Structure 1
Amino acid sequence: MSRQFWPLYGLRLTTPRLELTLPDGEVLDELARVAADGVHDEASMPFSVPWTDGSPQDRARATFQHVLGTIAEWRPEKWTLSLAVRCEGKTVGRQDLMTEDFPVTREGETGSWLGLAHQGRGIGTEMRAAMLHLAFEGLGARHVTSGAMTDNASSLRVSEKLGYRPDGLMVESVRGEARTVLRLRLPREAWEAHRTVPVEVTGLEPCRELFGA
């Protein structure tokens, strides 16, 4: 993919085990296959938008369309950075950062998923730590928010370890049922106090105009 016209393809976040990049064709295919293999127990639904319902092919296509859609719809005033996560050379999941009017609000929201085969190894914490480093250290965020169903213990544990604080409850309609979501907020000072994962960011400078930063 051309970095000349879309420099985000040159952005890289690295941690001791992980590399996060905007997926090109080959990595995007790998990411779609990870989604097809499943990202959660089918008896539960951890997402407000139940994009994982349907067949493995449906999940793969939803992943493909989501990533390409974020590129097509990107504006400095409103963007979603959707990075593929690779662990020791293998694609394992996706980490997103979303925001609107970032130069004014200095606030973003994280979202992510991890393939079932790769859960329980601390990867979820490490990949979110990488994106938080980009948001706070790279782009100058003041707050980052997230959210999880109140029964999603694994996601809530990740947020707690990284310093997020409860920020109220929301009720959403998911699969025709009312589900309670706990909003979470991470101020800059709390992020600084809970930093444990070393992160390196490369390729950011050519992207600053796109970020509106």
Structure 2
Amino acid sequence: MIADQWPLFGLVLHTPRLELRVPGLDRLAELAELAAAGVHDPAVQPFVVEWTDAPPERVAASVLKWQWRSWAGWLPENWSLNFVAIADGRVVGTQGLDAERFATLREVGTGSWLGRAEQGRGLGTEMRAAVLELAFAGLGAEFATSEAFEDNHASYAVSRKLGYADDGIARHVVRDAAVTGRRLRLDRESWEKARTVPVRIDGLAPCLPMFGL
């Protein structure tokens, strides 16, 4: 089985409504199709990298390449773990967790998106809560960080609900205009206080060496 060679394929996170797992090719194709159908209002661009401004076929291809690149470039000291989120048997979005020098710094970053039809149902909170459980309870993280543009109220609301605090700003150029990102940081104590979404983690033990643990 592929999980014998790449244990991450056996890692699964469960929340009340979602299952998060590293996708096989069929699930990855579903995610690419979801992205091609649109993940945000075309009038705005919520990402620093403007990958969703491309034609649908290029958007879909970029999803595939992003996942394959993360697999090929995986190192215990520099990794990017990207799950598909599955609800009612279908892919509804993706949730990422990444880190550099995690064994020493004990800090992770997160990023995610949902298909437009799946937004506004609280799934973003469950997705983030799942990977935070993996980070803090499963891997022993001390901090988690996130960032969203000032007008991305949905992302900021998820962060606040899960206990993040403001951590400064970052400046970016998006669509040839200057935009401000709001950085957020979550420490272990705050995570424990805001921890309300039940999460079950399966298949973690064989993966630990891949995280440098």
TM-score by length of structure 1 reads 0.99
Partner of 1:195: 195
Q: How does 1:57-136 map to 2 (within 5 A)?
A: 57-136=57-136
Residue 82 of structure 2 aligns to a residue whose secondary structure is: strand
Q: Which secondary structure state, in structure 1, belongs to the residue aligned with residue 3 of structure 2?
A: coil
The code of the aligned residue for 2:122 comes to: G
What is the alpha-carbon distance in structure 1 between the residues aligned to residue 88 and residue 162 of structure 2? 23
User: CA–CA distance in 2 between the matches of 1:92 and 1:57?
Assistant: 19
State the Cα deviation string for residues 134-164 of structure 1 (Å, max 9, x = none).
Answer: 0000000000000000110010000000000
1:34 lines up with 2:17 in the alignment: no
Partner of 2:48: helix, strand, or coil?
coil
- Residues 11-50 of structure 1 correspond to what in structure 2 (within 5 A)? 11-50=11-50
Question: What corresponds to 1:146 in structure 2?
Answer: 146
Which secondary structure does the structure 2 equivalent of 1:3 belong to? helix
Return 5+ residue gaps in structure 2 as ranges: none
Distance 1:167 1:88 in 2: 36
Partners of 1:89 and 1:152 lie apart in 2 by: 28
Counterparts of 1:28 and 1:198, CA distance in 2: 26
Amino acid at match of 2:166: P
Determine helix, strand or coil for the equivalent of 1:52.
helix
Indicate the residue corresponding to 2:160 in structure 1.
Answer: 160
Q: Distance in 2 between matches of 1:52 and 1:142?
A: 32
1:92-116 per-position Cα deviation (integer Å, ceiling 9, x unaligned): 0000001000011000000000000
How far apart, in 2, do the equivalents of 1:176 and 1:36 lie?
A: 23
* Structure-1 separation of matches of 2:9 and 2:175: 35
Which residue of structure 1 lines up, in the alignment, with residue 212 of structure 2?
Answer: 212
TM-score normalized by structure 2? 0.99
Aligned residues: 213
Task: Percent identity, please.
Answer: 52
